[in-house]
Chains A and B, each alone.
Chain A
Amino acid sequence: METREQSSLENTPNPNRMPRIKLLNISRLALASPLAYIIAFLLTFLIGGIVILALTGQNPITAYGSFFAYSFFSPYGILEVLAKSTPIIIAGAGMIIAFRCGLWNLGAEGQMAIGAIISTAIGVNLNLPAGVLLPLIFLASFIGGALWSGISGFLKTKFGVHEMLTTLMMNYVALKLLEYMISGPLSMPHPNYPRSSEILPQAQLPFLQYPLNVTFIIALVLVPIVWLLINRTSLGYRLQAVGFGHEAARLAGMNIAKLTLIVMLISGGISALGGTAEVVGDFMRMERNVTGGYGFTAIVVVMLAREEIIAMPFAALFISGMLVGASSLTLVGIPAAFSQILIGLLLLCVVFAGFIERWLKHRWEEKAKVVC
């Protein structure tokens, strides 16, 4: 991944020179990273503004004004941002576990679909009390998602097939399966368009305040749990060790194949809960767009957060703000797909920020040398 590769490429300061650098310069070096990020964000919105101006003829400043006013400063908009960020945070939490182990689990979208299918199948058909039904739905979805991404983990350990490609392909398989389910086995009687029946009332989680629902709290609880898993458990230390380098981890006596499999299982299981959350918290049934591309969006979120679990929810909220804000732009004739353009641009600009950061550090170190 970017962060690791780049950190090895940075010019490490000569240790003999280190103590002589003034405190001021050291703190300035620490500023390079946030400064580069700020430049990246400005650049994103600048290019996005040019796109608005050039393609739709709208005034980008008023467009951005209503964009931010809606998504971050209107009560309903904020609730919508929080609601949309829920599946992204859950899927992102699952993906980060794999990414930290150096595994490219890009299958969150498909794992979410599997979670959605299983939750719907149970939620529609098993008439159990809520106290039994809801835990069962979450547990079954976790297991289903885990097995689904476990396939990719197994193929990786057994045959050496790269998990990036298999998880991506499994996305499409799962989405087709979902489409088959809503038009076939799980279809409601006489639907207007392909969708399942509503899940039983006791399986439906309440809204905190529409459109925000209880699953957002689940997402927030998940983040510290994943943080603890990565940073405070032996499994977490081992998966990070593998993430830093196979050879060292292998020499330390770790069973990389077994670890790969476990990590893929946990990662897929958690991501699948994103689909469950959409079914039991928001849609209350299954439709074609129940996964809403959030699993793909989570890829960007994880990359923006540089695989840091604590930073990830903030990245998710920001991206979700873009999705919600862009939907307000449709009123003035700017297609909602503008959010996707911004997300792509943001990722490109943040990569470019890596270059700016290196350049700034290099320049300031040169200056520090002259001062000493």
Chain B
Amino acid sequence: MTLDLIVNLIFATLNILPIYLIASLGGFLSQRVGVYDISMEGNMTFAAVMGIIGFFMADSPWLGLLMGFLSGAFFGLILATLAVKFNLDQIVIGFGLWFLGLGLASFFYKLYVPFDQHTEGFPTLAQLVGYKGELTGFARFLELDIIFYLSIVLLIVVSVVIYRTRLGLQMRATGENPSAADAAGVNIFRIRYFTILVGAGLVGVAGAYLAVAFLQGFTSGMVAGRGWIAFSIIIFGRWKPSNIFWGCLLFAGINGLQVRLQTIGVTIPSDLLTMAPYIVTIIALIIIMSRTGRSRVPSALGIPYYRE
């Protein structure tokens, strides 16, 4: 009984994890090269709708994710153009994109999403290896869908690229000291454009996954601050992929707990229970901030770069 409960909780946690993990890794990439992506919430909302539209083009969740990536990259393109090319205020651009995203989302939703908008998720690992039997205990992890495993792969890829490759070195240099990197022959603008496009695209993928596979449909306000939570995770992850992973696990855990408590019939009003992630964000920020550690914030984060 208790083991079942724990397995259920872990399962629910890992089920939600990809949303936070993919979104915060995407936002992390932008910040690593020195540009705040405040628009994550709006980006995810629009990508959620685009994901559903993509799904219905061919009844394929993969097309949904692709549309999510493209719409996210479109946001990244606007951000990069205004923030990198024209050196304008990244925070204000982010808020503009946030509203644009919310507006575009309901606009597209009203125009293009069919009335019966039920979507289907991704194949689970068990389905992929062709296992048909009933899974119990920890073997249930094979029931997690393929995107969960891919998001873990993404975490490893991002860590390796950032810390072990030449491109990653250039990305870090761009975020830490752009003029030195420029002097060393790094094309700051190309690196920033590329990274922001990929990063914002990943944020879009997270939004599309949320709509297509996790909630399997779009309702207004469905992103419900998850974009902002992902943004906070980057900050209290101190701009390190491994910490970001633990932060995502924490929030996925809270979400999982929420789902589980409701199903086993704990009588806390659901509205009060849904407050938990936001309160935990605040508490986590307090804990991180009051622990005086060496900050890993990219030194050039938020500062426009002018070539001399």
* B289 close to A160 (CB less than 8 A): yes
Asked if A7 is an interface residue, CB under 8 A from chain B, the answer is no
- The proximity string for A residues 153-185 relative to B, scoring 1 for CB distances below 8 Å and 0 otherwise, is 001000111100110111111001101100110
Contact A338 B97 (CB under 8 A): no
Closest partner residue, chain B, to A6 (CB atom): B89
**Interchain nearest-CB distance for A22 vs B (Å):** 30
Q: Which of B100, B111, B232 contacts A341 (CB 8 A)?
A: B100
Q: Which residues of A contact B229 (CB under 8 A)?
A: 169
A366 is an interface residue with CB less than 8 A from chain B: no
Contact status B99-A183, CB under 8 Å: no
Contact A337-B106, Cβ < 8 Å, known A2-B89, A160-B289: yes
B150 contacts the other chain (CB 8 A): no
Mask of A1-23 contacts with B, CB within 8 angstroms, 1/0: 11001100100000000000000
Q: B residues within 8 A CB of A168?
A: 225, 228
Whether A184 and B106, one on each chain, are in contact in the complex, defined by CB atoms closer than 8 angstroms, is no
* A355 interface residue per 8 A CB criterion: yes
CB distance from A26 to the nearest CB of B (A): 26
What separation, in Å, do the CA atoms of A59 and B281 have in the docked complex?
Answer: 46
Give bound CA distance, A133 to B64, whole Å. 54
Contact with B along A329-344 (1 / 0, CB 8 A): 0000001011111111
Choose among A161, A303, A335, A352 the residue that contacts B282 (Cβ–Cβ < 8 A).
Answer: A161
Least CB distance, B239 to chain A, in whole angstroms: 14
1/0 per residue, CB under 8 A from A, across B267-285: the answer is 0010110110011011001
- Complex contacts, B110 vs chain A, CB 8 Å: 335, 337
Q: Do the beta carbons of A180 and B271 come within 8 Å of each other?
A: yes
- Say yes or no: is B104 at the interface (Cβ < 8 Å to chain A): yes
Taking CB atoms, residues of chain B closer than 8 Å to A171 are: 225
The interface residues of chain A lying within 8 Å CB-to-CB of B95 are: 299-300, 303, 347
Which A-B residue pairs are the 8 nearest by beta carbons?
A: A340-B103, A344-B100, A347-B96, A344-B99, A337-B106, A341-B103, A180-B271, A335-B110
Q: Are A340 and B102 in contact (CB under 8 A)?
A: yes
Q: Once bound together, how far apart are the Cα atoms of A89 and B101, in whole Å?
A: 24
Q: Say whether, besides A351-B89, A355-B86, A173 and B275 are in contact (CB < 8 Å).
A: yes
**Most chain A CB neighbours (cut-off 10 Å) among B107, B275, B290:** B107
CB within 8 A of B96: which of A6, A162, A338, A348?
A: A348
Please tell me if the beta carbons of A347 and B282 are within 8 angstroms of each other in the complex. no
Chain A residues, CB < 8 A from B285: 155, 159, 161-162, 165-166
- The number of chain B residues with a CB under 8 A from chain A is 48
Can you report 27 A-B residue pairs in the complex whose CB atoms are below 8 A from each other?
A: A1-B89, A1-B92, A2-B91, A2-B92, A5-B89, A159-B286, A165-B231, A165-B232, A177-B271, A180-B269, A300-B96, A300-B99, A335-B107, A337-B106, A337-B110, A340-B100, A341-B100, A341-B104, A342-B103, A344-B97, A344-B102, A345-B100, A351-B82, A351-B89, A351-B92, A352-B88, A354-B88
Decide if A159 touches B235 in the complex (CB within 8 Å). Answer: no
Residue B93 interfacial (CB < 8 Å) = yes
Which of A9, A184, A348 has its CB near the most chain B CB atoms (within 10 A)?
A348
In the assembled complex, the CB of B30 is this many whole angstroms from the nearest CB of chain A, namely 17
- A167 vs chain B, min Cβ distance (A): 10
Beta-carbon contact of B225 and A169 below 8 Å: yes
Task: State the Cβ distance, A107 to closest chain B Cβ, in Å.
Answer: 11
A160 vs B287: C-alpha distance when bound (angstroms): 11
Q: Which residues of chain A are near B109, meaning CB under 8 Å?
A: 337
Report if A173-B88 is in contact (Cβ < 8 Å); known contacts: A341-B100, A341-B103, A352-B82. no
Interface size, chain A (Cβ < 8 Å):
48
| A residues in contact with B271, CB < 8 Å | 176-177, 179-180, 183-184
Listed in ascending order, the chain B residues whose CB lies under 8 Å from chain A are 42, 78, 82, 86-89, 91-93, 95-111, 224-225, 228-229, 231-232, 235, 269, 271-272, 274-275, 278-279, 281-282, 285-286, 289-290, 304
A173 near B96 (CB under 8 angstroms)? Answer: no
Q: List B contacts of A299 (CB < 8 A).
A: 95
Task: State the Cβ distance, A286 to closest chain B Cβ, in Å.
Answer: 14
What residue in chain B is nearest A3 (Cβ atoms)?
A: B89
The distance in angstroms between the C-alpha atoms of A345 and B86, with both chains bound, is 16
Give the CA-CA distance A230 to B98 in the complex, in Å: 29
The interface bits of chain A over 177-211 (1 if a CB of B lies within 8 angstroms of the residue's CB, else 0) are: 10110011000000000000000000000000000
The answer to whether A370 has its CB under 8 Å from any CB of chain B is no
Chain A nearest CB from B250 CB (Å) reads 14
> Chain A's nearest CB lies how many Å from the CB of B278?
4
Interchain CA distance A166-B232 in the complex, whole Å? 10
Chain A residues 249-288 with CB under 8 Å of chain B are none
Rounded to whole Å, the gap between the CB of B242 and the closest CB of chain A is 21
* CB pair A348 B93 closer than 8 Å: yes
CB pair A165 B228 closer than 8 Å: yes
Q: Give the contacts of A311-343 with B (CB-CB under 8 A).
A: 335, 337-343
Chain A CB within 10 Å, residue with most, of B42, B82, B89, B281: B89
CB of A127 within 8 Å of the partner chain:
no
- State whether B86 touches A344 (Cβ < 8 A): no
Known pairs A169-B278, A173-B278; A55 contacts B99 (CB<8 A): no
Contact A348 B86 (CB under 8 A): no
Q: Could you say which of B91, B232, B282 contacts A155, with CB atoms under 8 Å apart?
A: B282
* A293 closest partner in B (C-beta): B102
Chain A residues lying within 8 Å of B100, measured Cβ to Cβ, are 340-341, 344-345, 348
B278 touches A347 (CB 8 A): no
CB-CB under 8 A for A343 and B99, given A56-B111, A176-B271:
yes
Name the B residues within 8 Å of A354 (CB-CB): 88-89
Identity of the chain B residue whose Cβ is nearest the Cβ of A106 in the assembled complex: B95
Provide the bound-state CA to CA distance between A51 and B104, in Å. Answer: 10
Q: How distant is A281 from chain B, measured CB to nearest CB, in Å?
A: 25
A351 x B281 contact (CB < 8 A): no
Give the CA-CA distance A168 to B227 in the complex, in Å.
11
Which of B88, B102, B104 is the one whose CB lies under 8 Å from A351?
B88
